[in-house]
């Protein structure tokens, strides 16, 4: 059995959905379970409805709901020829549009879009796409059945960022998904949504459909998890910055995790965790180019001659600098600083320390003013925004003593605000001004992947 997850751009229109069906057809012998996202852009529209409703902008809300309704009706017209299922689907779309208007009116009366309401609204994107795709598969002679993810993806009540309750998810997933698989059907379900034990709709968070697919794959002991997107796999750098970025054929879970955490947009950071536990291979593939094998991510690859695998970056970083105003010992100072970070649940992405000073890179500044007031009790505090973290990732960084010199020599003329080295053996990171992201990434790519002194790009690892 395999799990196949298709992202929003992979199901954005009828042509894309027909490609998806052909891809699924090619894997029927492997008993696929299919997870689909909302059509590209629909989730953003639904969340915009929440904001507009809270501001009582009824006209704009009605226009958006009509746009969503018309888009999905068009999909039905283009994908479904049989009158009975066509009429059924259009009827469901009308019902969902009516429910969206009712939700909008409730938000307008309250004057606030609660997280409960946001999840209820956002869920309609996948509910719409999945029911149309399941029927379109039937139209193309693929035995498919729609399974509502809320039957098995039981979560806590942390709305908009819900966490699955693993034991309940595993039990329900086996009960909901295994019978149709055993009967020769392709279960089509959603990855972004779930429900509490009281059956209140939740969402796993943006990008969470990758995680849901991997989680279910691990619980059902899948042979493989496929993440289908609109790029050919994981690349050596952002192709919008480096035009000759290469596809990475194989990489380790650790490398993929570091890249996703530091901004690579192909994978959700949590996606690979369930697969790590079960040692299930994950493929990142392009639904627009299905003959291409994409990137294989495995628990551990035997050593190769490449020094680095990829370069990633995380934008919108604020650098917080603290200097102890009292004669703390190092451990006292660090303890006080991170007690504040813990109190405000703020993640420190990279840290550099000395006995009396510390620099911390953060991307969440929601509580920064309150945190500064607490820091000022024991430290001098300054902060600067408009920064970015750039990092080089690769298992062989740990075995290459000259790599640090090569990296920073290539960045001549670019101001380095902070360096993080040693916290991870497979990641060398540093903070630069945001307007230096592109020159920094290009310089690093030239040095690590184009420099004649480099060991080259092994054909078994890179295209």
Q: Percent of the chain scored above 90 by pLDDT?
A: 76
Does residue 280 have a pLDDT over 70? yes
Does residue 295 have a pLDDT over 80? yes
Together in a domain, 219 and 88: yes
Together in a domain, 50 and 150: yes
Together in a domain, 197 and 100: yes
The number of folded domains in the chain is 2
| Residue 442: strand, helix, or coil | helix
Q: What confidence tier does 293 reach under pLDDT thresholds 50, 70, 90?
A: confident
Together in a domain, 17 and 147: yes
What gap in Å lies between CA 142 and CA 123, rounded to an integer? Answer: 25
Together in a domain, 166 and 57: yes
Predicted local confidence at residue 173, as pLDDT: 98
Q: What is the CA radius of gyration of the chain?
A: 24
State the average pLDDT over residues 182-209.
93
Asked whether 42 and 123 are in contact (CB, 8 A), the reply is no
Q: Which of 37-51, 135-149, 255-269, 352-366 has the lowest mean pLDDT?
A: 255-269
Domain termination site, one of 230, 253, 279: 230
Together in a domain, 213 and 319: no
The edge-to-edge listing of strands for the beta sheet with 310-324 is: 350-353, 357-362, 310-324, 379-393, 427-433, 416-420
Together in a domain, 161 and 27: yes
Q: Which of 132-136, 145-149, 309-313, 452-456 has the lowest mean pLDDT?
A: 452-456
* 296 domain-assigned: no
Asked whether 381 and 411 are in contact (CB, 8 A), the reply is no
* Strand positions, DSSP E, 209-309: 224-229, 250-252, 282-286, 295-298
Does residue 453 have a pLDDT over 60? no
What gap in Å lies between CA 193 and CA 39, rounded to an integer? Answer: 14
Q: What confidence tier does 73 reach under pLDDT thresholds 50, 70, 90?
A: very high
Domain termination site, one of 230, 245, 264: 230
User: Which CATH number covers residue 86?
Assistant: 3.40.1160.10
Neighbours of 125 (CB within 10 A): 27
* 341 domain-assigned: yes
User: Which CATH number covers residue 421?
Assistant: 3.30.2130.10
Together in a domain, 76 and 213: yes
Together in a domain, 11 and 136: yes
Together in a domain, 38 and 141: yes
Together in a domain, 201 and 328: no
Angle between helices 14-26 and 115-139 (to 10 degrees): 70
* 249 domain-assigned: no
Predicted local confidence at residue 387, as pLDDT: 97
Q: Using one digit for the tens of pLDDT, what is the confidence trace for 336-376? A: 999 999 999 999 999 988 878 899 999 999 999 999 999 99
Q: Which of 127-131, 309-313, 392-396 shows the highest mean pLDDT?
A: 127-131
Domain that holds residue 157: 2-230
Domain termination site, one of 177, 198, 230: 230
* 289 domain-assigned: no
Q: Half-sphere exposure of 242 toward its Cβ, with a 13 Å CA cutoff?
A: 25
Q: Which residues contact 263 (CB under 8 A, 6 or more apart)?
A: 312, 313, 314, 315, 389
* Strand positions, DSSP E, 222-356: 224-229, 250-252, 282-286, 295-298, 310-324, 350-353
Of 178, 181, 162, the C-alpha closest to 170 is 178
Does residue 330 have a pLDDT over 70? no
Does residue 328 have a pLDDT over 80? no
Of 122, 115, 206, the C-alpha closest to 156 is 115
* 257 domain-assigned: no
* 248 domain-assigned: no
Does residue 394 have a pLDDT over 80? yes
Predicted local confidence at residue 327, as pLDDT: 61
Q: Using one digit for the tens of pLDDT, what is the confidence trace for 242-269? A: 998 989 999 888 888 888 888 777 777 6
* 263 domain-assigned: no
Together in a domain, 185 and 316: no
Predicted local confidence at residue 332, as pLDDT: 80
- On average, the pLDDT of the chain sits at 92
* 243 domain-assigned: no
Look at strands 350-353 and 416-420 and give their pairing.
unpaired
What gap in Å lies between CA 400 and CA 260, rounded to an integer? Answer: 23
């Amino acid at each position: 059995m395999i799990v196949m997850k298709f992202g929003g751009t992979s199901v954005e229109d009828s042509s894309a959905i027909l490609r998806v069906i052909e891809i699924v057809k090619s894997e029927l012998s492997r008993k696929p379970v299919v997870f689909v996202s909302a059509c590209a852009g629909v989730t953003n529209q639904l969340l915009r409805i929440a904001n507009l409703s809270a501001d009582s902008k009824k006209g704009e809300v009605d226009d958006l709901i009509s746009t969503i309704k018309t888009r999905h009706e068009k999909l039905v017209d283009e994908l479904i020829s049989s009158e009975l299922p066509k009429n059924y689907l259009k009827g469901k779309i009308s019902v969902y549009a009516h429910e969206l208007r009712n939700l909008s009116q409730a938000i307008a009366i309250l004057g606030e879009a609660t997280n409960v309401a946001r999840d209820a609204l956002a869920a309609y994107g996948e509910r719409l796409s999945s029911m149309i795709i399941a029927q379109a598969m039937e139209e193309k002679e693929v035995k498919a059945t729609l399974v509502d993810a809320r039957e098995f993806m039981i979560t806590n009540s942390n709305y908009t960022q819900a966490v699955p309750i693993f034991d309940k998810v595993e039990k329900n997933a086996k009960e909901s998904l295994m019978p149709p698989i055993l009967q020769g059907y392709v279960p089509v379900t959603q990855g972004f949504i779930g429900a509490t034990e009281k059956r209140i709709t939740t969402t796993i968070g943006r990008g969470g459909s990758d995680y849901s697919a991997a989680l279910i794959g691990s619980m059902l002991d899948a042979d493989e998890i496929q993440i289908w997107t609109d790029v050919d796999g994981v690349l050596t750098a952002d192709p919008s910055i480096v035009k000759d970025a290469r596809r990475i054929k194989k990489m380790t879970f650790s490398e993929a995790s570091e890249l996703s955490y530091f901004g690579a947009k192909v994978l959700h950071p949590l996606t690979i965790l369930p697969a790590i536990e079960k040692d299930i291979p994950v493929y990142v593939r392009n639904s627009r180019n299905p003959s291409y094998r994409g990137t294989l991510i495995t628990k551990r690859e035997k050593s190769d001659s490449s020094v680095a695998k990829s370069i990633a970056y995380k934008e919108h970083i604020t650098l917080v600098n603290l200097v102890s105003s009292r004669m703390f010992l190092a451990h006292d100072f660090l303890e006080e600083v991170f007690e504040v970070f813990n109190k405000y649940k703020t993640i420190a992405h990279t840290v550099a320390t000395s006995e009396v000073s510390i620099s911390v890179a953060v991307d969440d500044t929601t509580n920064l003013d309150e945190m500064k007031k607490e820091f000022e009790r024991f430290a001098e505090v300054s902060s600067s925004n408009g920064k970015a973290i750039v990092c080089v990732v690769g298992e062989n960084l740990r075995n290459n003593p000259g790599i640090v010199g090569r990296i920073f020599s290539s960045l001549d003329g670019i101001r380095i605000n902070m360096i993080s080295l040693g916290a991870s053996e497979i990641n060398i990171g540093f903070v630069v001004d945001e307007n230096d992201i592109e020159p920094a990434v290009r310089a690093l790519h030239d040095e690590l992947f184009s420099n004649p002194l480099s060991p080259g790009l092994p054909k078994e690892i890179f295209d």
